[in-house]
Amino acid sequence: MSTATARVLSSGLRLPPLPTIRDLVKLYKLQAIKQLSQNFLMDERLTDKIVKCAGDIQDRDIVLEVGPGPGGITRSIIRRQPQRLILVEKDIRFLPTLELLKDCASPLNINIDIHNNDILKFNVEEAVTDLTRRLHLIGNLPFSISTRLLINWFKDLSLRRGAFRRYDTCMTLTFQKEVAERICAPTGHEQRCRLSVMSQIWTRPVMKFLIPGKAFVPKPEVDVGVVKLIPLKTPKTDLPFDLVEKVMRHIFHMRQKYCRRGYATLFPPDNREEVTNELFKLADVKDTLRPFELTLDECLRLATVYSNFINDHPTIANYNFRGPKNLRDISFTM
């Protein structure tokens, strides 16, 4: 018996007869829109398993679900009886099904708020003002926004804002399998990339399990990975997020070449080789390693020496090797 079920039975309440997701989809004639990367997860055992990966959801906790759609994962969250459930859904077609689930769950005294909003623009600080309660982020993310949303949340985490004003806000999210593998990829792994490094600087990502594409309707062309990201109480760096992200983006821009090649594009052509050689020496990093061979510590040492360099040469911070000509005509002296 689960903890949530035990709470229901001990309180004398019984779980309400919630409609199945297949019934809701049929009742409201809902179809997934491919352009919005929508895929419905119908298997209740799998939605329960996703929510279980979030850990022990207490009756004082708050859960924010991203993109609930017709409410498959929502039903599994309701069974865990959080104190409050916040649903952020961009597609208005799903609002009636979510309202129905809210009505069915009313005997459990769960405070359910439904927001017709884009999660990329949603103000979590306005929605969650009680910081005495732990917050869980759960979602079957649309593939089209998953990486961008995760990077945004890492920045919020680095600044201790938004959903991450507390140190224990965990994320339990779905990604297409390849992205999930990238998030968790260790040093030397074929999938290691900028996202791997960014994820592991601020969180401890754990691949929980894979869901075959055939479990979704419509069936996506790829399988799906469920990843739990646990924020580190002490991040691996206190450098500004945007600086770290910029350096990692440049390093991994030329993933199969020596790491010095991508790193060098942080600097104007004049003196580029000289500066790159000097900074790799200061960082004590071998410049003939491939980017995916760099350890987390080596990546951060390269970010640190770059930070120190632009402190001494502030105009270099504005250099953009892909930008307009006025952002490429920057020179400096050593």
Lookup result for tokens 């991203």: 66
Residue 332 lies in a domain: no
Considering only CA atoms, give the Rg of the chain. 23
Q: Domain boundary at 185, 205, 231, which? A: 231
Cα gap 226→77, rounded to integer Å: 16
Question: For 190-218, what is the mean pLDDT?
Answer: 93
Residue 105 lies in a domain: yes
Residue 333 lies in a domain: no
| Structural domain range at position 293 | 241-327
Residue range 7-35, pLDDT digits in tens: 444 443 455 666 676 666 665 565 655 54
Per-residue pLDDT at 9: 40
DSSP label at residue 325: G
Residue 334 lies in a domain: no
Residue 236 lies in a domain: no
Q: Pairing state of beta strands 216-217 and 62-66?
A: unpaired
Cα gap 44→210, rounded to integer Å: 15
Question: For 165-191, what is the mean pLDDT?
Answer: 96
Same structural domain for residues 225 and 168? Answer: yes
For residue 313, the domain's CATH number is 1.10.8.100
Q: Domain boundary at 231, 250, 269, which? A: 231
DSSP label at residue 268: -
pTM of the predicted protein model = 0.88
Neighbours of 119 (CB within 10 A): 22
Same structural domain for residues 188 and 208? Answer: yes
Lookup result for tokens 């199945």: 20
Q: Domain boundary at 208, 231, 254, which? A: 231
DSSP label at residue 313: S
pLDDT at 250 over 50: yes
Residue range 279-301, pLDDT digits in tens: 999 999 999 999 999 999 999 99
How buried is 32 (Cβ within 10 angstroms: 0-12 exposed, 13-18 middle, 19+ buried)? middle
Averaging pLDDT over each range in 207-221, 231-245, 312-326, which range is the top one?
A: 231-245
Residue range 37-74, pLDDT digits in tens: 557 787 889 999 999 999 999 999 999 999 998 898 99
Same structural domain for residues 167 and 306? Answer: no
Same structural domain for residues 178 and 286? Answer: no
Same structural domain for residues 258 and 206? Answer: no
Cα gap 37→131, rounded to integer Å: 33
How many distinct structural domains can be found in the chain? Answer: 2
